[in-house]
């Protein structure tokens, strides 16, 4: 993922009960994300993430940023 245009960061988080997974990924533009989803090389990565637990994909926009 990190070599794809527009990639900013990602972290995969698994719920404490092991039933759900969240892939918190940041992309510069929605179009970059959409292009990534069309890339055939992304399939194995997404499959590994989904094996960790149930995921419900949603897109979000940044409404506020707080830094230390």
Verdict on whether the full-model pTM lies above 0.75? no
What pLDDT was estimated at residue 28?
Answer: 95
Beta-carbon contacts of residue 24 (< 8 Å; ≥ 6 apart): 10, 11, 12, 13
For 8, the token pair is: 């900013």
8-51 pLDDT, tens digit per residue, is 999 988 889 988 888 889 999 999 999 998 999 888 877 877 78
């Amino acid at each position: 993922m990190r070599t794809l245009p527009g990639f900013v960061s990602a972290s995969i988080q698994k719920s404490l009960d092991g039933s759900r997974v969240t892939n918190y990924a940041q992309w510069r533009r929605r179009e970059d994300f959409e292009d990534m989803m069309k890339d055939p090389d992304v399939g194995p990565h997404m499959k590994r993430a989904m094996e960790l637990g149930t995921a419900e994909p949603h897109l979000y926009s940044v409404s506020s940023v707080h830094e230390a």
